[in-house]
Homo-oligomer: A and B are copies of this chain.
Amino acid sequence: MLRTHTNGELRLADVGKLVTLTGWVQKNRKMGGMTFIDLRDRYGVTQLVFNQEINPELCEKANRLGREFVLQITGKVAERSNKNRNISTGEIEIIVSVLKVLNEAQTPPFTIEDETDGGDDIRMQYRYLDLRRNCVRKNLELRHKMAFETRRYLDQQGFLEVETPVLIKSTPEGARDFVVPSRMNQGQFYALPQSPQTFKQLLMVSGFDRYFQIVKCFRDEDLRADRQPEFTQIDCEMSFIEQEDILQMFEGMSKHLFKAIKGVELSDFPRITFADAMKFYGNDKPDTRFEMKFVELMDTLKGYGFSVFDEAEYIGGICAKGAAAYTRKQIDALTDFIKRPQIGAKGLVYARVEADGNVKSSVDKFYSQEILQKLKEKMNAENGDLILIISGEKTSKAQKQLSELRLEMGNQLGLRSKNVFSCLWVVDFPLLEWDDETQRFYAMHHPFTSPKPEDIALLDTNPAAVRANAYDMVINGVEVGGGSIRIHNSGLQKKMFEILGFTPEDAEYKFGFLMNAFKYGAPPHGGLAYGLDRLVSLFAGLDSIRDCIAFPKNNQGRDVMIDAPSLIDNVQLEELALSVKK
């Protein structure tokens, strides 16, 4: 090693030792006849000292060192007179006797500090410098730890990590596949997996019993703010289980992670049905760090001549505790917020519960104080609370709008701390979703999800009412994982493809191998997948998954650092028998 110690290692007990350190120049400051350099590596920062009087030549050399120069120094550990309690090595410094520049550095285009002066674009272009920043590297250290602890837990539970192929077959259903032209089979393509779903099910057919994999998956989607074309899943599957076993196993895993990584002991996760999640939060991934549940107000507010409500299919309210003092301006801002095209509400009705218990609403001319008192009671509101009401001609749409309002109020009232973790399971998802545009059903989870046995009969009569043995793990309003009990019967799987509008030929071409496998003794099985990127972001308190990915892509799917994607040689195209249309 070119060093005897790291820059995070030396303490008072080491005073007097001759040590060799390596690292980067974080700071270089001259004070009187002394030069101080902060030498940085992954492990910490150590202060180096050069004295003009004792060794003028060495000190001069030190003065010429720029930021981010790479050094190897040898010197004696000394106690610092002016101790720095903020860093672990703050009690000592090194009186340098030998200084070697291992590599020079141009001045970086932005400062290598937690609070940097570099904007997003330049930091992405020079990501290798951005990654030098403590706050960015910490996220990747956390990611390493979380992946390692995940493996440790699953290994202890008897899971085997099995690698499934990356070059597979294109079976687009939902998102688009990335495809890979085959040179040896010209005109044919591999696809990159959107998930190892079918392979993990085949491993269950093989009797692997407990499988997992931390694995890259790929989706060629138009990228929204927080999506990446390649992302990482903790993918798991178990045999001879029921839904309850999966929930227990992975609730256990989440608890293990919170304990091992954050030292937090979580209590058992509440469970809520999809129907209740929509009813109380208008959201299948409710943020339960705060209450503010929806209260349905059709009985309370309909039929008093306020046409907006009278014509509504849904009227719902939330009670913002202690927010009665909201000004007109604040409420107008909320109204603007929910009227934005992304949310699309038509308006907001509010009712303040004043200090004396009177209720004052924006629709006083339609409602008597008596009715408003009933509203107050129904909302379980107390003096000083603010009731916010949204209605709509379509229940699901109005609930979605009210959900956005609820989350915004959570933000405004400081109820969504990143240091609080509220976990739950959402269960009993519908099996199918009807799509008006294409006039067909889509699988809400995926085509391999099993209907609840008691609902199978409904598949023929009322498919929309069929519930699935599907579940999502939600933490702080983020869906960190989800899964289902799978179909393990060849005939039921075939029927499912029919309902989803596959022709028998298409189903056979795309998934024949799976339906065939089910004929040779498939065990009951199920599983789930966590989004590792999201899980790490949540643990790190990040706003974007991008910050926990070493080399992320931008919203156009580009890696601006290496400049990919890019043109390829004509030779390469010819070998693949491809041409690009102009």
**Contact A561 B513, CB 8 Å, known A24-B207, A556-B185, A578-B578:** yes
Task: Report the minimum CB–CB distance from A191 to chain B (whole Å).
Answer: 8
CB–CB A42/B132 < 8 A: no
Residues in chain B near residue A22, CB distance under 8 A: 239-240, 523
Task: Please tell me if A106 contacts chain B, counting CB pairs below 8 Å.
Answer: yes
**Contact A521 B24, CB 8 Å, known A580-B577, A581-B579:** yes
CB–CB B207/A40 < 8 A: yes
Task: Please tell me if A176 contacts chain B, counting CB pairs below 8 Å.
Answer: yes
Task: Please tell me if A333 contacts chain B, counting CB pairs below 8 Å.
Answer: no
Task: Please tell me if A122 contacts chain B, counting CB pairs below 8 Å.
Answer: no
Q: When chains A and B are docked, how far (Å) is the Cα of A182 from the Cα of B558?
A: 10
Residues in chain B near residue A188, CB distance under 8 A: 565-567
| Interface range, A side | 35 or more
Q: Which one of A156-164, A252-260, A357-365 is at the B interface?
A: A156-164
Residues in chain B near residue A576, CB distance under 8 A: 179
Residues in chain B near residue A185, CB distance under 8 A: 556-558, 565
Choice from B518, B521, B562, B572 contacting A68 with Cβ under 8 Å: B521
Choice from B170, B176, B202, B553 contacting A128 with Cβ under 8 Å: B202
Task: Please tell me if A105 contacts chain B, counting CB pairs below 8 Å.
Answer: yes
Q: When chains A and B are docked, how far (Å) is the Cα of A230 from the Cα of B180?
A: 13
Task: Please tell me if A321 contacts chain B, counting CB pairs below 8 Å.
Answer: no
CB–CB B564/A521 < 8 A: no
User: Which residue of A108, A128, A182, A580 has the most chain B CB atoms within 10 A of its CB atom?
Assistant: A128
Chain B's closest residue to A140 (CB) is B162
CB–CB B523/A70 < 8 A: yes
Task: Please tell me if A69 contacts chain B, counting CB pairs below 8 Å.
Answer: yes
Residues in chain B near residue A141, CB distance under 8 A: 160
5 extra A-B contacts, CB within 8 A, seeds A43-B209, A147-B161, A578-B580:
A68-B520, A105-B519, A169-B559, A182-B557, A578-B581
The 8 closest A-B pairs by CB, nearest first: A105-B521, A131-B206, A169-B564, A188-B565, A182-B565, A68-B521, A2-B240, A128-B202
